[in-house]
Structure 1
Amino acid sequence: MIATVVWGTGNVGRAAIRAVAAHPRLELAAVIVNNPEKVGRDAGELAGLDAALGVAATNDIAAVLAAGPRAVVYAASGDIRPDDALAEILRAIRAGAVVVTPALYPLYDHRSAPAEMREQVLEAIAAGGGSLFVSGVDPGWGNDVLPLLMSGLGSTVDGIRCQEIFDYTTYDQPDSVRWLVGMGQPMDYAPPMLAPGIPTMVWGGQIRLMARGLGVEVEEIREVVERRPLESTVATERMGKFEEGTQGAIRFEVQGLIGGEPRIVIEHVTRIHASCATDWPMPPTGEGAHRVIIEGRPRIEITVQATDEDGNHSAGGNATAVGRLVSAVDWLTDADPGLYDALDIPLRFGTLDRSQP
């Protein structure tokens, strides 16, 4: 069994604990938390499971890494603390662990990552013998392996569009939603996530990754952003009220230009309530969906909806992204130490739960 640590117990960490506990080759060795109120609580409770897992959460990072875990699922946020996230991930790699995480956006395609960041990771790998695989929570498979797999089903490919369409009514991450994305803020507020260059920093690597898989080079990455105000005050299940006239929806595209045209596009349509921007793409049901469209012959379109934690679509999206990361752990532990991306990791199949009828 591969001793595996889950670092963080938020939206992604809860799903990671469940995924590690269910994996036939992984053993949950420790859970690291930052909140002192979570210290000592059983991992099963923190993950929303009905049964205890016999692993108490701890904030003693040094002790956990000193025990020599073979793998770490780093599920702590890197949105507003990228430097801290990188430092903690490097610490785990230097301890000899295989690390999988969605937290370091520039490393989705490490070949195009900032040289300083990439060099730090490679130095940690050389020093400790660990590895790193970064894939997104958008989810990553929706912006790399799924569109590339679909591209091989037709005779010609003219373009690829990957969409994330979400309503955050039931989402439970107010800091990111209100401050980072700007929902509920005045329309003259500048959301950090939409600042020029930031969408490219976050999603540009996935554009380049898909281009590399298709055997082409991106000449330029262009950003297109739209914002809409709420037409009336709305109340959300977990984040309270959002006032009329404040930002209620955003739509942006990160476009990879090839031959001067946007041929590979990642598009996000995000609302705080279904009543806002109803003329923009909507999920077929519920709060969210991921869609991939292959323009070509034939034209192929697939929409994926995942639910978890009592039918929550945001939780379902997190769980599928985490599943991609956790399922790569055993392959990474068998591979040489290194810095890997989504094109390096082979498709991993699930395991049928034999306990079910």
Structure 2
Amino acid sequence: MRRVVQFSTGNVGVHSLPAIIGRPDLELVGVHAASPDKIGRDAADLCGLSEPTGIIATDDIDALIALKPDCVVYTAQGETRPMEVIEQMSKFLSAGINIVATSMVWLVTPRQADDWLRVPLQQACEAGNASLYVNGIDPGYSGDTEVHSALSLVTRARAITVQEIFDYANYDDYEFTGKQMGFGVSAEDDTPMLFLPGVLTTMWGGAVRNLAEQLGVQLDEVRQRIEPWYTDKRIECKMATVEPGQMAAVKFAVEGVRDEVPVITMEHITRLTADSAPGWPYPPDGRPGVHRVVVDGDPRVELNTHVSHPGLDVTEAGCLSTAARVVNAIDWVCRAPAGLIAVEDIPAAEIISGLMW
């Protein structure tokens, strides 16, 4: 039985929390919350469960460390406040507490991470003899597990395209995702944060370079491209209200280039409602979203991953899968040697252990 603390109950944490509570091999011992309206509430109340757990949310990190958990599930948004997150994670790691996280997506490929991020966390792991593992559905699954599966079916690969094609209309995250992607901005407004020079290559470039290294491919450059789409109609949805002339869809990618040709591409096509950007690709079979890998090789291979749930929108189902990517690794991470862990370090069978009871 692994003793676990859930850190945050936002878009991902609201799904990892009930997963922890429900698993017989995990014991929830603490919950961190930053919002005053969540502090002091029972964990069950924070994730929609009816039966109280007796675990009360707190913002006191030292009190959570004093519980001596085996692992922290860290799902708080961290990409806009990385130094604060490094400090928080380092406190747990230095205290000998392992972390599995969906935050700090640069660490999905830890060996590609910049020194300012990697070194202090590695030092904290060594100080506490603890481990840190970061993953999700994208960045994460689509650029590692899914693409590895596709590549295992070819005798030669000439080019690889990894895509997330999703309708974000019902994704309730305008303050972070919506603003970063620029939904609702016009062509005359300031460039959204995600599309500033170098930001995309920082977030997805590690996965491109990591895959190139695994393939033994020497890239000439890793570059980004962005194409916005502006609506001529008013769009009202949960994500945002978009007026005519404002952005309602965006296509962006990070490309690994060899001999002036992209050979590894990680692309996102994100729209608000199905009417946006009608000339761009859609998920197959009328689905609202897909994580797709296409290998131009011998033979050509295409894998399409769809997630769904009877009670959740497809974007929420994606958040549930993001939570699964780290919750399912808790036991192995707790047994792993100290340090920063990549998905390829974990035996595939370990991720499915404990999923049926």
Give the alignment's TM-score, normalised by structure 1: 0.93
Aligned to 1:324: 325
Q: Output one character per residue of 1:116-137: Cα deviation in whole Å (capped at 9) or x when no partner.
A: 2221112111212211112244
How far the C-alpha of 1:286 sits from its partner, in A, is: 4.4
SS at match of 2:278: coil
SS at match of 2:125: helix
Map of 1:23-34 to 2, 5 A cutoff? 23-34=23-34
* Cα RMSD (Å): 1.8
Moved more, 239-248 or 29-38: 239-248
CA distance, structure 2, for counterparts of residue 96 and residue 309 of structure 1 = 39
Moved more, 306-315 or 167-176: 306-315
1:291 to 2:292 alignment: yes
AA at the equivalent of 1:141: Y
Seen in structure 2, the aligned counterparts of structure 1 residues 309 and 42 have a Cα distance that, compared at 3 Å, is farther
Aligned to 1:7: 7
CA distance, structure 2, for counterparts of residue 217 and residue 342 of structure 1 = 22
AA at the equivalent of 1:114: D
Q: Identity of paired residues, percent?
A: 35
Moved more, 308-317 or 294-303: 308-317
CA distance, structure 2, for counterparts of residue 240 and residue 260 of structure 1 = 38
1:349 to 2:340 alignment: no
Give the alignment's TM-score, normalised by structure 2: 0.93
CA contact (8 A) 1:32 1:58 kept: yes
Seen in structure 2, the aligned counterparts of structure 1 residues 123 and 319 have a Cα distance that, compared at 3 Å, is same
CA distance, structure 1, for counterparts of residue 273 and residue 59 of structure 2 = 36
CA contact (8 A) 1:66 1:95 kept: no
AA at the equivalent of 1:320: S
Map of 1:201-216 to 2, 5 A cutoff? 201-216=202-217
How far the C-alpha of 1:45 sits from its partner, in A, is: 2.5
1:162 to 2:138 alignment: no
Aligned to 1:69: 69
Q: Output one character per residue of 1:8-62: Cα deviation in whole Å (capped at 9) or x when no partner.
A: 1000101111222233422111110001111222222222234333322222211
Seen in structure 2, the aligned counterparts of structure 1 residues 271 and 341 have a Cα distance that, compared at 3 Å, is same
CA distance, structure 1, for counterparts of residue 117 and residue 177 of structure 2 = 27
AA at the equivalent of 1:188: E
CA distance, structure 2, for counterparts of residue 87 and residue 166 of structure 1 = 33
Aligned to 2:49: 49
SS at match of 2:169: helix
Map of 1:1-357 to 2, 5 A cutoff? 1-189=1-189, 190-236=191-237, 238-284=238-284, 285-308=286-309, 310-347=311-348, 348-349=351-352, 351=354, 353-354=356-357
AA at the equivalent of 2:324: G
How far the C-alpha of 1:277 sits from its partner, in A, is: 0.4
CA contact (8 A) 1:148 1:214 kept: no
Seen in structure 2, the aligned counterparts of structure 1 residues 15 and 174 have a Cα distance that, compared at 3 Å, is same
How far the C-alpha of 1:351 sits from its partner, in A, is: 4.2
CA distance, structure 2, for counterparts of residue 353 and residue 136 of structure 1 = 21
Q: Output one character per residue of 1:140-197: Cα deviation in whole Å (capped at 9) or x when no partner.
A: 1111111012201122211211111111110111112332111001222301001110
SS at match of 1:343: helix
Moved more, 256-265 or 155-164: 256-265
AA at the equivalent of 2:347: P
AA at the equivalent of 1:341: A
Q: Output one character per residue of 1:283-311: Cα deviation in whole Å (capped at 9) or x when no partner.
A: 23343221111111111112111124723
CA contact (8 A) 2:182 2:247 kept: yes
Q: Output one character per residue of 1:89-118: Cα deviation in whole Å (capped at 9) or x when no partner.
A: 112111211111122132222222111222
Instruction: Tell me how many residue pairs correspond in the alignment.
Output: 353
AA at the equivalent of 1:174: Y
CA distance, structure 2, for counterparts of residue 117 and residue 110 of structure 1 = 9
Structure 2: gaps spanning 5 or more residues: none
SS at match of 2:202: helix
Seen in structure 2, the aligned counterparts of structure 1 residues 181 and 127 have a Cα distance that, compared at 3 Å, is same
CA distance, structure 2, for counterparts of residue 149 and residue 178 of structure 1 = 31
How far the C-alpha of 1:278 sits from its partner, in A, is: 1.0
How far the C-alpha of 1:80 sits from its partner, in A, is: 1.9
Seen in structure 2, the aligned counterparts of structure 1 residues 330 and 127 have a Cα distance that, compared at 3 Å, is same
CA distance, structure 1, for counterparts of residue 306 and residue 49 of structure 2 = 22
AA at the equivalent of 1:133: Y
SS at match of 1:100: strand
AA at the equivalent of 1:103: S
Moved more, 94-103 or 197-206: 94-103
Moved more, 330-339 or 282-291: 282-291
AA at the equivalent of 1:349: I
CA distance, structure 2, for counterparts of residue 8 and residue 191 of structure 1 = 26
CA distance, structure 2, for counterparts of residue 219 and residue 341 of structure 1 = 24
Seen in structure 2, the aligned counterparts of structure 1 residues 133 and 217 have a Cα distance that, compared at 3 Å, is farther
